[in-house]
Amino acid sequence: MSVNWLDLSNPPHLPTLYAHAAAKRKITGNTLPEQGLRCWVLVEAKPLAAFRGVCGLAPGPLLPPTWPQVLAFGLQMQLLTDKHFPFPLLGLIHLTNRIRVLRPLGGVTQLRIGVFVHNLQKHPKGATFDVVTQVDDLIGPLWEADSTLLCKGVELSGDVPQPGTQQPVAMSELTRWFAPANIGRRYARVSGDYNPIHLSAASARLFGLPSAIAHGLWLEARALAALDSHLPKANVELSVAFKKPVRLPSEVILLSSAAGSSGDFQLNGHGDLVHMTGNWRPIS
């Protein structure tokens, strides 16, 4: 698609954007804006080290594959709280996330990040759309991702797209870890994502949840950290689908099946509760 880019001189100011998000509670339309946002950002050592610590990532010369998404968070917030964006940010549900690492994420100190939205689709509960993030270094395209979000209550014409079917894959337990009650606040400090549903039981109850739930992107980063020795460092697509939320605190179990340059994984709770499914594949 053709994107009308608006280039920013500085990354957005998150506290102001949270105020805009809190003020907008109604659906105001059913078409997506065509404007995207771009900005150069610095890769700073201290925030990166804090992110590695919260996500269980070992120090290394390459950026974690989910780190560019953290750097893009402010731009995504500005795009989704703009007056031309039709849906309220609070209440959007993250369904899937797909990352493509085009080249090794090493030796970079500055990145140009661009974000835009597209692919509005009818859904049984409303409508879905994709937030696309593109990252370039001084050489060219380096990394890209798209996240599918659901907005309940949107009315669109047409038929609901039918999801494809997947054959079950045999997997065995790789590791397990405990997600403590404060992990939402800890991840918020390194990612900027202060959604109330993640911060405490009290703030989550304001949105109809019995307890705080873990950030989906923290679960993804933590799982990829455990899978690091199996994952290619470039020319790889990493995909996850978020299923049942992880209520805090709780223990989760990571299952995996690796086969060369491809593999599958799944994050379970106890009693065969599936929280997240995922895979990695070479970019075709």
Q: Could you give all domains of the chain from N- to C-terminal order, each with its CATH number?
A: 4-152 (3.10.129.10), 172-282 (3.10.129.10)
Alpha carbon distance 199, 181 (integer Å): 9
Location of structure tokens 């990829």: 224
Q: For residue 57, give the amino acid letter.
A: L
Element (H, E) at 125: none
pLDDT (0 to 100) of residue 137 = 96
Alpha carbon distance 170, 122 (integer Å): 33
pLDDT (0 to 100) of residue 271 = 86
The pTM assigned to this predicted structure is 0.94
pLDDT (0 to 100) of residue 284 = 82
125 phi and psi angles, rounded to 5 deg? -105, 5
- Of the candidates 224, 192, 188, which has an alpha carbon nearest to the alpha carbon of residue 204? 188
**Residuewise pLDDT in 10s, the chain (284 residues):** 689 999 999 999 999 999 999 999 899 999 999 999 999 999 999 999 999 999 999 999 999 999 999 999 999 999 999 999 999 998 899 999 999 999 999 999 999 999 999 999 999 999 999 999 999 999 999 999 999 999 999 999 888 887 777 777 899 999 999 999 999 999 999 999 999 999 999 999 998 899 999 999 999 999 999 999 999 999 999 999 999 999 999 999 999 997 778 999 999 998 889 999 999 999 98
pLDDT (0 to 100) of residue 1 = 67
- Of the candidates 198, 178, 10, 202, which has an alpha carbon nearest to the alpha carbon of residue 190? 198
CB-count exposure of residue 158 (10 Å: 0-12, 13-18, 19+) = exposed
What does DSSP say about strands 250-259 and 4-7: parallel, antiparallel, or unpaired?
unpaired
CA distances to 19, 23, 221, 279 from 194, in Å = 12, 15, 17, 28
- Of the candidates 127, 134, 37, 125, which has an alpha carbon nearest to the alpha carbon of residue 80? 37
pLDDT (0 to 100) of residue 158 = 83
CB-count exposure of residue 220 (10 Å: 0-12, 13-18, 19+) = buried
Location of structure tokens 């995922």: 278
pLDDT (0 to 100) of residue 148 = 98
3-state helix, strand, coil in the chain (%, to 5): 25, 35, 40
**Cα torsion 49, 50, 51, 55: sign:** positive
